[in-house]
Structure formats: C-alpha cells, structure tokens
Chains A and B, each alone.
Chain A
Amino acid sequence: MRLAGGVLPKVCMCGTHILSLHPQRKEEQRVKISLSINGTQHEADIEPRFLLVHLIRDVIGLTGTHIGCETSICGACTVLLDGKPVKSCAVLAVQANGGQVTTIEGLAKDGQLHPMQEAFWECHGLQCGYCTPGMIMAACGLLKETPNPSEEEIRHGLEGNICRCTGYQHIVDAVKYAADKMVA
C-alpha cells in the first residue's frame, strides 16, 4: 500500500449510506430523513444520535465543514439551515429533516467564488483556514440580516465563531469588503 511519492492519496469519500459505517447497529433504531444539501436532495437512513455535521462530513462527504470543539462554541461547523446559521455539531441530523442546508461547498457557483469567499481571500481574512468555512457561513448569515453592518455589528455578528490566528481584524475587513461588493 506504499503510495506514490509526493501525492496525497485520493480521498475516499465514504459512500452514500451509513450502513457501511456501522454494520452492527440495529435496523429499527434508524430514522429515515430527507434534506437538501447545497440544492441536492439527499435521503439518509441514520441513527438518531447522528449529528448534522456527521451527516454532512461522513455520509455526504463534504469535508469543508469542520469540527473544532464539540461544544457549540468554536463555530467551525457553522452551516446555514433554512437560511440561518446554526452550529451543525449541536443539531441532530434528524432535526434537520426536511430542511435546506448550505455548506461552504455550496457557495461558489460554476467556479466563481461567492463575494464573501472572494473577500476573505482578498483581505487575508484567514490564516490556517480551519475556522474559515464556518466564519464565512456565519458572515453570510449576518449580511442577510444586516446588509451594511458597522464594525461593531460585525464583531457582534461573528462572536459565535472563534479564530485563533487572525485576531479577527482582517476578518472584520473582509466582511466590510464583501458587504460593499454585495450592496453595489
């Protein structure tokens, strides 16, 4: 299994079904749910204890949504559920049944970055990048409610997303930049 030099192995996105992950689980404990993720309808047959973030990452295979704290503080797992930011590590997948989820992978259209993504890149609103997808989703949620926020409103709006690298300054700059672009 020695891999060719220099190239990371092709990432194997674990299938479409949770069955392969937990073969020994009892059938009757599972719940059928249906939800839309980035515009695509998904059906899943899952254990009730499955978190929305596990559904997104382990079942659907969208790994841009990160897990940083498991206590709904850091916000790295923030996605939009029915248009509003939620922490997907604190939402049961079952409770998202029938909902519409948008993750970081759902923002860019046809290779064209969403203005918020462009702004984070342009203004260096990221360093290690781990909090970035959640931060961008929270920022998108903020601009929906407050299209032209002040610096204070940005800081308040993003207080649920923790960043250890940037000191938040360039993130604030990025959100202002995106707001200007999106209003224009």
Chain B
Amino acid sequence: MKQSLIGQPAHRKEGRDKVTGQARYVDDLTFPDMLHGVTVRSPIARGQLRGVQFGEGIPWHEFTIVTAKDVPGANCVALILEDQPYLVSDTINHPEEPILLLAHADKYLLEEARRAITFEIEPLPAIFSIEDSLNRKELIWGEDNTFKSFLIEKGDVNAAWAHADFIVEGEYETGAQEQLYIEPNGMIAIANREEGVTVWGSMQCPYYVHKALIKLFDLPPKKIRVVQAVTGGGFGGKEEYPSMIAGHAALLAWKAGKPVKLIYDRAEDMAATTKRHPSKTRIRTAVGKDGKLLATEIDFTIDGGAYATLSSVVLSRGTIHAAGPYNWPAVRVRSRAVATNHPPHGAFRGFGAPQSIFAMERHLNKVAQTVGLSPEELRRRNFLQPGETTSTGQVINEKIDLSSLLDRALKLSDYQTKKTRFAEFNASSSTERKGIGFATFMHGAGFTGSGEVYLSSVVGVEATETGKVRVLTSNTEIGQGSFTIFSQIAADALGIDFSQIEIAQPDTANVPNSGPTVASRTTMIVGKLVESAALGLRQTLVAGGLLGERYSADEFAEACRQHIAQHGALKSFSKYEPPPGVHWDDEKYQGEAYGTYAWAVYVAEVTVDLTTYETRVDDFVALQEVGKVINPVLAAGQIEGGVAQAIGYALYENVVWREGRMVNNQMTNYIMPTSADVPPIRVYFEELPYAYGPSGAKGIGELPMDGPAPAILNAIEDAIGQPGIQTFLGQIPLMPETLMKAMTAGGGND
C-alpha cells in the first residue's frame, strides 16, 4: 500500500502554470471581435437621477450604451434580498453606484467617453454613520434602516448584575477593510438570445453568478454558463460582487452582439466594490472577585452600506462568535446590521467574527485588569470545557483543552520571560516601549446553522480509461490551495498517485453545485464530499469485481478501462448529509451553530516608538487546533497570509471616507503591509481529528483573521501600560495619529 498523502506537503497542483506565467487570468483572455466595457457610476451618495448628458467630441454612435431600460429580466442582483439594482433607474443610494454601461473596441476612447458623461441628479440627504442610521436621521432603507437583527439569550443575564463583584463596561470599534486581492475584478461575457449567456471571470462562487444571471436575463438555467478563470485572490471580495460585474459584462455583450471584457482598475475596484463591515460593540460584563465570568451583555452593530447584500449572514457569524470560547452562565447578544449610504459592505475573510472577537478579546483584558488577574489567568478560569455550552447552547463535544493550548502558545512565545524582560527594558528606554499580548478565540467552520443543509452540495468524480480521475466541484482555487487539497484527498481515498488526479475548472456546464468557496468550508465540507465520492468510485470497482482490496496503478487503470467499456462511463457523486445530532433553531438562534470549531491562541510581540508613535510587530506566534492538517505547508501559508492581512487590519489599513466615498482608493494611499512590515510568523498546529471532515480536517481559511488585531492591541497596552489608555485602544485600525493622542493626552476618560 502506498504511503498516505494526507499530512504531506504536496506541491501546488497548478504551481507550474503560476511560476511560468502560463496561468490565464481573465484579463489574459481575448476573443475575436471583442469589445471593452466600462461602468459609469454615481458621483454622489444619494439622489434622484434626472438625466444623462453625453458630452461633445465623442463618436457616441460607435458605442454600445446600456441603461436600466435595457435589462431583459429583473433589474436586481439575486442574492438574499433582492434590493440592489444592476443599474440605477431612478434612486441613487451610494457613491459609485452603477448607472450606465459603455462598450467600445478602443480602450482609450472608452475611457475618454466615460469621462464625457455627466448625470443630472437631484441630491438627497445621506447618512454615513451607524448612529445616524440607528437614530433614523434619514430613512434610507425599509421601515427602520435595519437589514437584520438577532437576539441570542442564554441564562438569566438580568439577575447576574446584582451578584457581581465587578461590572465592567467597554466600547469597541472596527473600521472598514479592503480585501485587496492583487488581481482586480473582471469578467468577459458572450450573450445573445439564441445561445444564452456565458461569462468567464475572476470569482469565488460560480453558482452565485449563475443564479444572478438567470434572474437578470430571465433565461432558463441551462442557457446560463459561468466559467471561473484563474483567480488572483478573493478573501470574500469575490464572493458576491462578481455577480454584479458578470451582469454588466453580459448586458453589454447582449446589446452589442459581441464579446465584452470588463476589467476594473485598482481605483475603481477599491472605490466601488465591497469591504469589511465597520462595527461598533458595547459590552457589559458581570464578574466575581475570583475572576469567574458571571454574565455578559453584548450589543453589536455593523454598517451594511446601502443594500442588504450579505450583511445578514455576516451579522449572524459575528453575533455567534461575539461571546468567544468562554463558559458564560448567562449571555445576551443583541445585534443589527444597519443601512448607510456607503457602497455595500460585504464578505471578507472572517465574515463578522473578527469584529466581535476584537471587542471581546480587548474587553477581557479590561476585565482582568479590573479584577486584578493576569489576562491569561482570567481566561484559564473561564475557558469552555468539553460538556459546557456556547452562547447558542451548543454542547462542546470535542476534547479541546484551551488551557493547555494557551500554555503551549505562551511557552512558544516565551511569554513570561519576555514580560519580565520588557518591563526592565521599558523602565530604562526613553525611545521605545515593548509589549506582548495574546488573544484566544474560536472559529466555526462551514455555513452557519442549517446553511449547509439548504446548500445540499454535490461533488462528483469521474474516471478515464487511462485511470486518471477528475474531480468535479464548483469550488474555486483562489490561491488557498483547494485544487491541491482535493487532489490529496481524492488520491488518498482511491489509493492512486497524486499526479493521476485532475481537478475540473469550475464551469457550471460541467460541474455540479458544491456550494460557494467561502466560510472555511472548502476543505472540511467539500473535501469530505470529494473523499466520499472517491470512495464511492473505488467501491463501484471493487463491488463490480474489477478491483481487489490492494492494487497497483496499472490494475486501477485497467479496472477503470473495463468498467467504462461495460457501462460507458465511471462516475460517482456524493451529496451533503448533516452529521447526526445537529439541530439549529433559526428563530431562537439556539443549537449547533457549526458542525465544529477551530480553536486558537495567538501571541503578538510589539515595539512602540515613542518618537513617532508607530507600532512594529516583532514576533508572532499562531497556535491553533484545526483537526487533521491535510497539507502542512499550505495550511501554514493560509495562517501566515491571514495573520499578515490582520496585521494590516490592526495597524495600517485605514479606509478614509468623504461623503460616503473612499478617498484613498489606490495602493499608494491605502496602506497594506509590505514584506518589510510583516515579522516572521511562527505557525503551530494541534490536531484533534473531526469525525465529519475528510481524514479529520476542519476549516482554517478565516481563523487567522480573527486573533491578530486584539493580540496586537493587547500587546500595545502591555507596552504602554499607561492608565486610561484603554479608551484609545478600543478601535482599529490603531493609527500612529491615534496613539499619539492617547500618549500625549495622558490617558482617556476611564
């Protein structure tokens, strides 16, 4: 029997194409007679569209021009609620909202034409803050500016306050963040009545685009085909917005009768597409003098922007993760996603959890300080243990031991020694302060609650006569390594070589709907389906008497050949079945919110420069329990990338808004970390196999986004150690300008 591929650092399946420049991203594709498209957008945040002026000096007759009137089906992006139009017909709800589309063969002339269009707009008052939305300063969406609200209740929170030795309150705020995949968004479409609509592009979720185009064109599903091109990063930013771009490209192609390529440049991509939801959290916590957490009340609000998009599900994940991995006898979480006139915020790695976890992990340090315990001791006394329940009442069935995980992380980071050394250093240095801090957290893998049941994902595998096996899923390779992981899982299940596995490029004409590539679900949920489909294929050969229990590659190929000769094809499909004992109440928000969780302790070491108020992250330890690790190098890469992105979230990536528009929408002024800004990131895994993941794997993609920001701010607090500084350390990104205020004001108001 060959050695198992699980746990091996298999080479990236599509690596050769990517290191030789042969991988074809959407902008690398060209069709005969192709036009280029461009989107003309609203210059203001809110108003009534009264007219369009086409400026002089442009040969307008050569252009394909599309407005809302040209939409063949429904003018809305089908997702959860159908409130967002493809093109404005009368009311503008955010800056950069698409109003009109242009196509022409000459890219330069197209850009000149875009600049020659002006809109007559009657402005309406707009709102840009969570407060203004909650106070209904203007009513801009529905009856109360609220896309969605949730209430989670466990135990008797009201009764706890009277018995508490301490009541600790805090307010926390997180900013928007741009996904900043390095490949900007883009699509190419061919569309006409006879053949239907085909799009190629950069995306995470081909079947989301498929669903949206069916509605937009009012065509049967078979007339819509969506093909993923090699995609240069997503991070959630290519979850829902590609449906918009695909629709625009297809509308232009439909009218022009020619292929149309629509590629965003960086400025447009940053200004117009989704970002991470800004948030505000208020936490009130009752705690005993022994450091036992008694109850907490969390009020969590996110800014959804102008349309509903995915805000309800982002809010859901943020709400469920808000209480952290702690055993709260009583919890109440109230949350809401509200409307503002910002461009809609959307999916971004972590999906609401980084926001609420930031608040809780900062807050618990404040609680520890109030009680007079170290941050680690407070957590040790309150960690969730097997058999205890989360805020939604989910019983922890895994043998997770968070105290040991914490101990190991503190040891790996040399935490106690550094605490002492930094205290000495800080007493003697007049130019720098050093600190170390950590965060403990968990992240649920897969869709929330009954999400996976509704998705009902299907995966197929198909053998060829030469014994190659092709995996059919709609899950995309966006850099995270899904093609490599699927290949390892399939090869292992079939007992054949890694090189014998092929992964079909996601194309709705050829692959079943295995759900979107989001929510840390690809390895755990879809990988499991790959495993069972592959086992099914093998079983078919064994049951047919074509294959024994042990076999060589040649014997496997021969068995495939014989089966195909007899039956015409050899395919096996597998459909999602929920693990037993999983119940979720969507009304009460009670039950098994996720099949399983990954658990983590992250430790950050920082230096704060007293001359410039800049913070440098000097060392970073990321320890996590993630079930069985399928590919240790790919997994480490996921963690390292997530940590770097979260360092940006914590310290650098400040979206500057003016009248609802992002004004630093370039890589020159939206500051993400370079190689010189990121420290070496040390990644460690613990493995508690999860019974319902492939070979025991859990999901890990989003996890590393959750912990770094609170760990870094906890480290900064440790470094500065100035009374009253907490107020200033309740927000991210923590820019040097804020830290200067904190340090020169000599503290805040608490």
Binding site for B on A (CB under 8 A): 1-3, 5-6, 8-9, 11-14, 21-22, 24, 49, 57, 62-71, 73-74, 76, 103-105, 107-108, 113, 117-118, 120-124, 126-133, 136, 151, 154-156, 158-172
CA distance A22 to B108 in the complex (A): 9
In the bound complex, residues from chain A placing their C-beta under 8 Å from that of B668 are 71, 73
Are B29 and A124 in contact (CB-based, < 8 A)? no
In the bound complex, residues from chain B placing their C-beta under 8 Å from that of A129 are 14, 17-19, 23, 230, 232, 479
Name the one of B18, B31, B190 contacting A126, with C-beta atoms under 8 angstroms: B18
Q: Mark B489-529, 1 if CB is under 8 A from A, else 0.
A: 00000000000000011010110000000000000000000
Are B637 and A69 in contact (CB-based, < 8 A)? no
Q: Mark B673-694, 1 if CB is under 8 A from A, else 0.
A: 0111010110000000000000
In the bound complex, residues from chain B placing their C-beta under 8 Å from that of A107 are 20
Stretch at the interface among B163-171, B178-186, B420-428, B447-455: B178-186
Are B678 and A167 in contact (CB-based, < 8 A)? yes
Are A113 and B19 in contact (CB-based, < 8 A)? yes
Query: Is the interface on chain B under 10, 10 to 19, 20 to 34, or 35 or more residues?
Result: 35 or more
B137 interface residue per 8 A CB criterion: no
B351 interface residue per 8 A CB criterion: no
Given contacts A126-B18, A165-B233, 15 further A-B pairs with CB under 8 A are A6-B505, A9-B29, A22-B106, A24-B106, A63-B24, A64-B22, A65-B21, A68-B232, A71-B666, A113-B20, A120-B19, A131-B232, A162-B182, A169-B637, A170-B633
Are B190 and A127 in contact (CB-based, < 8 A)? no
A-B contact pairs, 30 of them (CB 8 A): A1-B190, A11-B30, A12-B31, A14-B30, A21-B106, A63-B28, A66-B25, A66-B232, A67-B27, A68-B182, A70-B265, A71-B266, A71-B667, A74-B667, A104-B19, A104-B21, A108-B20, A113-B16, A120-B15, A127-B480, A128-B479, A130-B182, A132-B18, A159-B675, A161-B675, A165-B233, A166-B644, A167-B637, A167-B678, A170-B637
In the bound complex, residues from chain B placing their C-beta under 8 Å from that of A167 are 637, 639-645, 678, 681
Are A130 and B233 in contact (CB-based, < 8 A)? yes
CA distance A170 to B27 in the complex (A): 27
In the bound complex, residues from chain A placing their C-beta under 8 Å from that of B314 are none
Best-buried of A1, A127, A132, A165 by chain B (most CB within 10 Å): A165
Q: Which B residues, 562 to 597, have Cβ-Cβ distances below 8 Å to chain A? A: none
B481 interface residue per 8 A CB criterion: yes
B11 interface residue per 8 A CB criterion: yes
Best-buried of A62, A64, A76 by chain B (most CB within 10 Å): A64
CA distance A73 to B478 in the complex (A): 22
Q: Known contacts being A127-B481, A130-B183, A170-B640, is A158 close to B675, with CB within 8 Å?
A: yes
Q: Known contacts being A121-B12, A128-B232, A167-B644, is A136 close to B19, with CB within 8 Å?
A: yes
The residue on A at minimum CB distance from B19 is A117
Q: Known contacts being A130-B25, A158-B675, is A69 close to B667, with CB within 8 Å?
A: yes
The residue on B at minimum CB distance from A129 is B18
B383 interface residue per 8 A CB criterion: no
> Closest approach, in angstroms, between the C-beta of B484 and any C-beta of chain A?
9
Are B675 and A168 in contact (CB-based, < 8 A)? yes
